[in-house]
Amino acid sequence: MKLQPAKGALRLATAAIAVSSLMGSGIVFAQNDNADSQNSDSSKQDNTSQSTDLVQLQKDPSNWTMWSGQYNGQRYSELDQINAENAGQLSPAWTFSTGVLRGHEGGPLVIGDTMYISTPFPNKVFALDLETHAIKWKYEPTQNPQVIPIMCCDTVNRGLAYGDGKIFLQQADTTLVALDQKTGKVEWKSVNGDPTKGESATNAPIVIKDKVYTGISGGEFGVRGHLTAYNVSDGKMAWRAYSTGPDDTMLIDPKKTMNAVTQKPVGADTSLKSWGGDQWKIGGGTTWGWMTYDPELDLLYYGTGNPGTWNPTQRPGDNKYSMTIFARDPDTGEAKWLYQMTPHDEWDYDGVNEKILVDQKIDGKDRKLVVHFDRNGFAYTQDRATGELLVAKKYDPAVNWASGIDMKTGRPKLVDEYSTDGKVDQNVTGICPAALGSKDQQPASYSPKTGLFYVPTNHVCMDYEPSKVDYTAGQPYVGSTVAMYPGPQDIVNPTKEFEGKRMGTFIAFDATTGEIKWSVPERFSVWSGALATAGDVVFYGTLEGYLKAIDAKTGKELYSFKTPSGIIGNVNTWKYDGKQYVGVLSGIGGWAGIGMAAGLTDPNAGLGAVGGYKDLKNYTQLGGVLTVFTLPDSVAKKAHTSEKVASK
Annotated binding site: 105, 158, 202, 220, 286, 306, 348
Residue 18 touches another protein, criterion: CB under 8 A: yes
CB of 631 to another protein, least distance (A): 33
Residue 279 touches another protein, criterion: CB under 8 A: yes
Task: Give the separation between CA 489 and CA 479, rounded to whole angstroms.
Answer: 30
Residue 145 touches ligand HEC, criterion: CB under 6 A: no
CB of 327 to another protein, least distance (A): 21
The number of angstroms, rounded, from the C-alpha of 377 to the middle of its chain's C-alpha atoms is 16
Q: Which of residues 435-464 bind another protein (CB under 8 A)?
A: 463
With CB under 8 A as the contact rule, the residue among 81, 200, 304, 311 that binds another protein is: 311
φ, ψ of residue 170 in degrees (nearest 5): -95, 105
Going by C-alpha positions, the residue among 271, 488, 528, 291 that lies closest to residue 396 is 488
Write the burial class of residue 52 (CB in 10 Å: 0-12 exposed, 13-18 middle, 19+ buried). exposed
Q: How big is the site for ligand HEC, counted in residues (CB under 6 A)?
A: 2
Residue 364 touches another protein, criterion: CB under 8 A: no
Going by C-alpha positions, the residue among 105, 121, 93, 17 that lies closest to residue 67 is 105
CB of 380 to ligand HEC, least distance (A): 33
**Measured CA distances, 93 to 86, 90, 243, 580, 604 (Å):** 16, 9, 44, 11, 45
β-pair type (572-576, 557-562):
unpaired
Q: Which residues pair with 94 in a beta bridge?
A: 628
Q: Which is nearer to another protein, 282 or 371 (CB)?
A: 282
Q: Which does 395 bind (CB under 5 to 8 A by kind): another protein, ligand HEC, none?
A: none
CB of 502 to another protein, least distance (A): 19
Reduced to 3 states (helix: H, G, I; strand: E, B; else coil), residue 142 is: coil
Q: Which is nearer to another protein, 364 or 608 (CB)?
A: 608
Return the biggest CA–CA distance within the chain. Answer: 69
Cα dihedral 640, 642, 644, 645 in deg (nearest 10): 20
Please give the DSSP secondary-structure letter assigned to residue 306.
Answer: -
Residue numbers belonging to the annotated binding site for pyrroloquinoline quinone: 105, 158, 202, 286
With CB under 8 A as the contact rule, the residue among 79, 87, 160, 186 that binds another protein is: 186
Q: Which residues pair with 96 in a beta bridge?
A: 626
Stretch that binds another protein, among 36-44, 57-65, 421-429, 545-553 (CB under 8 A): 421-429
CB of 215 to ligand HEC, least distance (A): 21
φ, ψ of residue 211 in degrees (nearest 5): -130, 155
Residue closest to ligand HEC when measured from CB atoms: 149
Residue 107 touches another protein, criterion: CB under 8 A: no
Residue 189 near residue 201 (C-beta atoms within 8 A) = no
Q: Which of residues 13-42 bind ligand HEC (CB under 6 A)?
A: none
Q: Which is nearer to another protein, 521 or 593 (CB)?
A: 593
Q: Which does 282 bind (CB under 5 to 8 A by kind): another protein, ligand HEC, none?
A: another protein
CB of 476 to ligand HEC, least distance (A): 7
Residue numbers belonging to the annotated binding site for Ca(2+): 220, 306, 348
Q: Report how far apart the first and last C-alpha atoms of the chain are (Å, whole number).
A: 42
Cβ neighbours of residue 467 closer than 8 Å, sequence gap 6 or more: 311, 424, 425, 479, 480, 481
Q: Judge whether 348 counts as a catalytic residue.
A: yes
Q: Which does 588 bind (CB under 5 to 8 A by kind): another protein, ligand HEC, none?
A: another protein
Catalytic residue among 348, 350, 440, 536: 348
With CB under 6 A as the contact rule, the residue among 82, 125, 152, 241 that binds ligand HEC is: 152
Q: Which of residues 334-373 bind ligand HEC (CB under 6 A)?
A: none
Going by C-alpha positions, the residue among 507, 629, 455 that lies closest to residue 81 is 629
φ, ψ of residue 110 in degrees (nearest 5): -130, 125
Residue 149 touches ligand HEC, criterion: CB under 6 A: yes
Which of the residues are catalytic?
348
> Residues in the site for ligand HEC, rule: CB under 6 A?
149, 152
